[in-house]
């Protein structure tokens, strides 16, 4: 299994402080068309983050997902998956 160290990445640092973090899309990164979301995970008996869940999300996925929004009621947004 391949491994890599992300401890110096902002999404990891923020998640280990208990925050969900999404990397910013800059004009340079936009060419890559993806971003990373990191969020802390906790064990049932922990008060401090025990690690980080992270995912690389393609901007095309988000675009497709947003095209599925239905504004049936002004107070609610429905997403069909």
For 7-64, write each residue's pLDDT tens digit.
998 999 999 999 999 887 655 555 667 788 899 999 999 999 999 999 888 878 777 7
What is the Cα–Cα distance from 48 to 41, expressed in whole angstroms? 9
pLDDT (0 to 100) of residue 4: 78
| Number of C-beta neighbours around residue 62 at 10 A | 13
pLDDT (0 to 100) of residue 16: 95
Q: Please check the confidence at residue 78 and state whether its pLDDT lies above 90.
A: no
């Amino acid at each position: 299994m391949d491994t890599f160290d992300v401890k110096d990445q902002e999404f990891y640092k923020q998640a280990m402080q208990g925050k969900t973090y999404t990397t910013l899309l800059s004009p340079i990164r936009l060419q890559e068309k993806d971003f990373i979301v990191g969020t802390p995970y906790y064990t049932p008996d922990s008060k401090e983050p025990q690690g980080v869940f992270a995912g690389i999300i393609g901007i095309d996925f988000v675009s497709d997902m947003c095209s599925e929004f239905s504004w049936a009621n002004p107070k609610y947004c429905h997403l069909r998956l």
